[in-house]
Structure 1
Amino acid sequence: MKYPLTLSFKILAVAPQVRVTDADGAPVLFVHQKAFKLKEAVTVYRDETKQTALYTIAADRVLDFNAVYRIRDGLGREVGALARRGRRSLWRARYDILDVEGRAVFRVHEDDVWKKVIDSFLGQFGIAGAVVGYYVNPSYTVEADDRATPEREGTPVMTLAKEPAVWEGQFTLDRAGDLMMEHEELVVVALLMMVLRERGRG
């Protein structure tokens, strides 16, 4: 993938759709979330034609508190998961990215909790919310959670930042360190699911 990637979605869409483009503006992924589902269901396509489904993501329970979002490839094989870290997520967003065996291989944390609180609360108020959405921009860091290799523990591998925007949600995803090829797309897809979840919080 040619970084940085841009993640964009329409703020008022009933069924959220996320477009992912690379540094040249070329399409990388297209995400469609089904509306009005008791359990969240997300399909990741190659592009907006939705002809090729690459991944599906589904919550393991109806209520999202402590939910685990299982990520499966186009053949239905589980490749990993995104796990929300329970009560701590009420204020500061914290997630684990799990491998196929359920081991945490990366952790995601919000860099500044107060930016998210302001964005979530004031973002509900019409024009004022649009202004807030332009100036208050939360960011996230993805770190290696490699206890088997202590020297890599806590090493940043990706950063995700909300960009100034009024009528469209837009994030920039960039590499911050070494990342094995087999983990790269798992992290990107997991972060797409996280963006959809955090969109619900403002």
Structure 2
Amino acid sequence: MKDLQYPLHFTFRVTSLSNDFSAKDANGNSIYYVREKIFTWRDHIMVYRDESKSEILYELKSNKLIDFQQTFTITDHTGKVIGKVRRKSIKSLWRSTFNLMDPQDKLDHTIKEKNPWVKMWDGLFGELPLVGMLSGYFFNPSYILRNDQDEPIFEIIKEPSFFGRKFTVQKLTDKPVDDERFVLSLMLMVLMERDNG
């Protein structure tokens, strides 16, 4: 993975039928283009070098047809396993949680919603006629990626937006960490949680 300059910015394409977004670094340079395949039996996400989609860098594939303890395997362009991400669906009604595992399937990090009340208020507000369309501007969840010592490593924040979806990724530690695996895991989480807030 390239040397990333934080904060990173993920911006979804409003006009696209696909679930896709571009990722840029702090200097506005394009670093990735992420696209979820549509019309497939299992969730399948492709990470390209840029929007030309001429060079694929990573793939994230689901192991299940339905979203129940769904696990995604992250591989690079050679097929090497980078890690895995498991979505804890049972608790998703209250607080979204994703477990991160290393290539040896050892659970070592988690991504959790910072304030689950935001999701609740967004759901209630979003049901109101007309004004519900504004929920994406007022209710913006954030998520914290922590290690197994409960130390915060990354925070990803949904930015206020009426129509599009924009997220900012902040690195919270100066310690050397596995940026490749963690940023890819945050990209997956964003695709899964896009409609919240």
- Whether the TM-score (by the shorter chain) exceeds 0.5 is yes
Displacement of 1:79 in angstroms is 1.1
Does structure 2 retain, via aligned residues, the 8 Å contact 1:143–1:157?
yes
CA distance in 1, matches of 2:53, 2:126: 31
Q: Specify the alignment match of 2:150 in structure 1.
A: 154
Displacement of 1:121 in angstroms is 4.8
Matches within 5 A, 1:183-194: 183-194=178-189
Report the CA distance shift for 1:23/1:126 in structure 2 as closer, same or farther (over 3 A). farther
Displacement of 1:13 in angstroms is 3.5
Displacement of 1:24 in angstroms is 0.9
Given the alignment of the two structures, is residue 172 of structure 1 paired with residue 164 of structure 2, yes or no? no
Q: Specify the alignment match of 2:105 in structure 1.
A: 102
CA distance in 2, matches of 1:124, 1:76: 43
TM-score, scaled relative to structure 2: 0.91
Does structure 2 retain, via aligned residues, the 8 Å contact 1:10–1:167?
no
TM-score, scaled relative to structure 1: 0.89
Aligned residues: 194
Q: Specify the alignment match of 2:56 in structure 1.
A: 53
Q: Specify the alignment match of 1:38 in structure 2.
A: 41
Runs of 4+ residues over 4 Å off in structure 1: 124-127
Q: Specify the alignment match of 1:70 in structure 2.
A: 73
Q: Deviations over 1:172-198 (max 9, x none)?
A: 1010014535x1011111111111111
CA distance in 1, matches of 2:129, 2:9: 25
Does structure 2 retain, via aligned residues, the 8 Å contact 1:9–1:19?
yes
CA distance in 2, matches of 1:86, 1:136: 21
Report the CA distance shift for 1:67/1:28 in structure 2 as closer, same or farther (over 3 A). same
CA RMSD of superposed structures (Å)? 1.8
CA distance in 1, matches of 2:22, 2:127: 23
Q: How high is the sequence identity, in percent, across the aligned residues? A: 30
Residue 167 of structure 1 aligns to a residue whose secondary structure is coil
Q: Larger deviation: 104-113 or 8-17?
A: 8-17
Residue 190 of structure 2 aligns to a residue whose secondary structure is helix
CA distance in 2, matches of 1:18, 1:52: 16
